Structure 1
Amino acid sequence: MLQIRDHMSRSTHSLTPQLGLAEALDRLHDSGLSGLPVLDPQQRLIGFLSEQDCIPSLLTGSYHCDTRTRVEDLMSRTPLSVSPDDSILDLARQMTEARPKVYPVLEGNRVVGIISRRQVMQALNTQMKGCLPT
């Protein structure tokens, strides 16, 4: 079985709720991902911030020079997540119905990694190549 644990990034990139929008966007850019988990001081997942979440506030904030927006103002407070033991196939099916491009990977309530749509596609492509006659 194709498991998420074999294809996820063991990323340490995350955000805090009090972080300002500009710094959060810098961290998103540095991570190379389109979204990052938001963690509380005990490193528990409390939200998720995607580029898509930021665009409306970035547009108005840049026009009005408003720098007060924080991650907690924009983050999704009910993020979808997966387990390292979950199937890549199940996640791929979920991705056809849900919009997130990046999912935090949780063991218990602790973030242990991130898996992106690109990683899921690469895993499925590798699997498919194994089916082709040589």
Structure 2
Amino acid sequence: MLQVRDHMQRLTHFLSPELSLAEALDRLHSAGLSGLPVLNAQRQLVGFLSEQDCIPSLLSGSYYCDTRTKVEDLMSHTPLSVDPDDSILDLARQMTGARPKIYPVLQQGKVTGLISRRQVMAALNQQMKQCQAA
């Protein structure tokens, strides 16, 4: 069975709620990801910030030179997450709707990694190729 744990990337970047929007965007870009989990001081998941969440504030902030926006102002406060033992097939079905492109992977309440649509598609493509070879 294809599992999230076999295709996720380990958590190397995250955001904190009090970061400024500009700093959060720098971290998103340095991570090369379209979104990152937001963790509190105890490293518990408290939100998720995507590039899409940032665009409206970037428009107004750049026009009015408003630099007061924080991650906590824009983040999703009820982020979807997956477990490392979840099925890639189930996650792919979830992703067919208007769902996030990237999910935090939670194990025992802690974020251990991330999995994106690209990784899900690569896993399914690999599985399809194995079917063709058989």
Correspondence for 1:117: 117
Correspondence for 1:45: 45
Q: Does 1:59 align with 2:78?
A: no
SS in 1 for 2:90: helix
Correspondence for 2:33: 33
**C-alpha distance in 2 between matches for 1:35 and 1:92:** 18
| 1:53 counterpart letter in structure 2 | D
Residues 58-80 of structure 1 deviation map (CA, whole Å, 9 limit, x = unaligned): 01000000000000000000000
Deviates more, 1:97-106 or 1:61-70: 97-106
Q: Which runs of 5+ in 1 are unaligned?
A: none
Task: Give the TM-score of the pair, scaled to structure 1.
Answer: 0.98
Moved over 6 A (4+): none
Aligned residues: 134
Q: What is the Cα-based RMSD across aligned positions, in Å?
A: 0.9
Aligned counterparts, 1:75-86, within 5 A? 75-86=75-86
Correspondence for 1:19: 19
SS in 2 for 1:105: strand
Deviation at 1:12, TM superposition (A): 1.7
> Contact (CA 8 Å) 2:61, 2:67: kept in 1 or not?
yes
Deviates more, 1:89-98 or 1:111-120: 89-98
Task: Give the TM-score of the pair, scaled to structure 2.
Answer: 0.98
Q: Which runs of 5+ in 2 are unaligned?
A: none
Identity of aligned residues (%): 75
Deviation at 1:57, TM superposition (A): 0.1
